[in-house]
Amino acid sequence: MSLTADLKEMLTEQLHYRELLFEMTRRDLLIRYKQTIMGFGWAVFMPLVNTAVFSVIFTRVAPIGTEVPYPLFAYCGLLTWNFTASSLRAAVSSLTSNAGLVTKIYFPREIFPFSAMLVGLVDLAVGSSVLVALMAWYRVPPSKFIVLLPVVVCVHAMFTGAVALFVAMANLFYRDVKYIFEVVITLWMFATSVLYPVRMLGGKLGTVLRLNPMTAIIDAYRDVIFGRHAPDWTSLGAAAALSAVALLWAWIAFHRSEFEFAERI
């Protein structure tokens, strides 16, 4: 099939099944809300605990210099990183854990990784209320570039979506992916400027780490939310271009192998 026909089919299907996407997202949120006492509290609890731990390490044990108070720096990094990490964690097994649906009922399978992402997005929104509170507490004013926040979220979502589609599909064909993923996601966090500014690093290591699109995205979040200077346009632009291409590639690859899912799951 031609590329344009594929693209057209992908988009019309998503449009036709958009209610299912929201319904699946609702399902996952409802279940968490019902099964746990804290409900949405978990969306802020984990980044807060990590913020506390790393604040002790990086302010008392091995202090590092950041433009804003370290807890604010770390919480912003952890909250936004958490969107990627939790979306991908849910996406990686989203197809295999819904095997009953995949083998029995037809609808676009992208719904599974996409709804995993929407759940992550809701958590991001819930967690950002604490970010606002922290900014008020430390009296850090928002940057004048805050209007660009939707752009950054968009790039972030595109990139996460691309990886989510890829890992969900890969785990269906090769179940090792789930285990490899756990290792990779941990290493990846430390290779991203979540807990320390990668900009601090020089030399070869710094150059390599700056190739990581997640660093560009998380740095851009900090710049547009409470930065004192303009975001790094080059790296954000590169991340945006890469995310768009990756999303397109992953989505088409996913769509084209969809018909094999029921047989291979």
Partner 1 sequence: MAEPVIAFDGVWKKFRRGEHHDSLRDLIPSLAKRLTSRKREQPLDADEFWVLRNVSFEVKPGQAMGIIGPNGAGKSTALKVLTRILKPTRGQIRVRGRVGALIELAAGFHPDLTGRENIFLQGAIMGMRRDAIRRRFDEIVDFAGIPDFIDTPVKRYSSGMNARLGFAIAAHLDPEVLLIDEVLAVGDFTFQQKCYARLEEFRREGIPIAFVSHNMQAIASLCDQVMLLRPAQDPIVGDVPDVLAEYVASRSAAADPRLNVIASSLRDGRSGRMVAGPITPGTPLDLDLDLVATGEMPRAGLLIQIVRSDGLIVFTGMSTLDGGREIDLRASDQLNARIAFVANVLRGTYIINIQLVDSMRQWPAAAVNSIQSFVVNETTRIAGCAELSPTYDLAVRSAAAESHATVKIR
What residue ranges bind partner 1 (CB under 8 A)? 16-17, 19-20, 23-24, 26-27, 30-31, 34-35, 100-101, 103-107, 173-177, 259-260, 262-264
Nearer to partner 1, 36 or 207 (CB): 36
Nearer to partner 1, 103 or 207 (CB): 103
Nearer to partner 1, 137 or 259 (CB): 259
Is residue 54 a contact partner of residue 141, using CB atoms and an 8 Å limit?
Answer: no
Residues 6+ apart with CB under 8 A from 114: 21, 161, 164
In whole angstroms, the minimum distance from the beta carbon of 261 to partner 1 comes to 8
Nearer to partner 1, 118 or 220 (CB): 118
In whole angstroms, the minimum distance from the beta carbon of 40 to partner 1 comes to 17
In whole angstroms, the minimum distance from the beta carbon of 165 to partner 1 comes to 19
In whole angstroms, the minimum distance from the beta carbon of 178 to partner 1 comes to 11
Please give the structure tokens belonging to residue 108.
């676009």
Residues 6+ apart with CB under 8 A from 127: 43, 44, 47, 79, 82
* Rounded Cα distance, 199 and 181, in Å: 26
Please give the structure tokens belonging to residue 185.
């996601």
* Rounded Cα distance, 181 and 188, in Å: 10
